[in-house]
Amino acid sequence: MPEKTARKMRVPPNNYDAEQSILGSMLLSAKCVDEALVYLRVEDFYHPQHQDIFMAMESLMQSGVPVDIVTVAEKLEQEGKMHIGGMEYLSRLTDTVPSVANLGHYIRIVGDKSSMRKLIDTSMRIADDCFSGEDDADTIVGRAGDEIYRIAVKNARNDIMHIKEAMTESFVHIGEAMKSKDGMLGIPTGFPLMDKMLSGLQGTQLVVVAGRPGMGKTSFALNMIEHIGLARKVPSLIFSLEMSADQLATRMMCSEARIDSQLTRSGNMGQEEISRLAEAMKRLSAAPIYIDDSATITVTEMLAKAHRLKRTQGLGVIAIDYLQLMQGSTRTENRQQEVSQMTRSLKIMAKELNVPIILLSQLSRASEKRDKKSRFPMLSDLRESGAIEQDADVVIFLQREDYYPEDRSPETEGKARIMIAKQRNGPTGNIQVRWNGEFTKYEEIDYIHDEEPEY
What angle, rounded to 10 degrees, do the helices at 103-132 and 30-39 form? Answer: 20
Question: How many angstroms separate the CA atoms of 41 and 58, rounded?
Answer: 9
Biggest CA–CA distance in the chain, Å, is 92
Torsion angle (degrees, nearest 10) of CA 45, 51, 57, 60: 130
Identify the DSSP state of 57.
H
Question: How many angstroms separate the CA atoms of 53 and 178, rounded?
Answer: 54
C-beta separation of 370 from 399 below 8 A? no
Instruction: Name the pairing type of β-strands 236-240 and 289-292.
Output: parallel
Residue of 411, 446, 412 whose CA lies nearest to 429: 446
Whole-angstrom distance between the N-terminal and C-terminal Cα of the chain?
82
Instruction: Name the pairing type of β-strands 429-436 and 441-448.
Output: antiparallel
Return all residues near 378 (Cβ < 8 A) that are at least 6 apart. 366, 367, 421
Length of the chain: 455
SS3 270: coil
Query: 277 φ, ψ to 5°?
Result: -65, -40
Identify the DSSP state of 238.
E
- Tell me the residue ranges of DSSP E strands in 198-300: 206-211, 236-240, 289-292
SS3 434: strand
From residue 356, alpha-carbon distances to 15, 17, 228, 237 in Å are 40, 44, 12, 11
Residue of 378, 443, 438 whose CA lies nearest to 416: 443
Number of other CB atoms surrounding residue 372 within 10 Å:
11
Residue of 346, 340, 342, 350 whose CA lies nearest to 386: 340
**Which helix (H) or strand (E) segment is 280 a member of?**
helix 271-285
266-269: list long-range contacts, CB under 8 Å, 24+ apart: none
SS3 355: coil
In the set 19, 169, 242, 338, the catalytic residue is 242
242 a catalytic residue? yes
The residues annotated as belonging to the active site are: 242
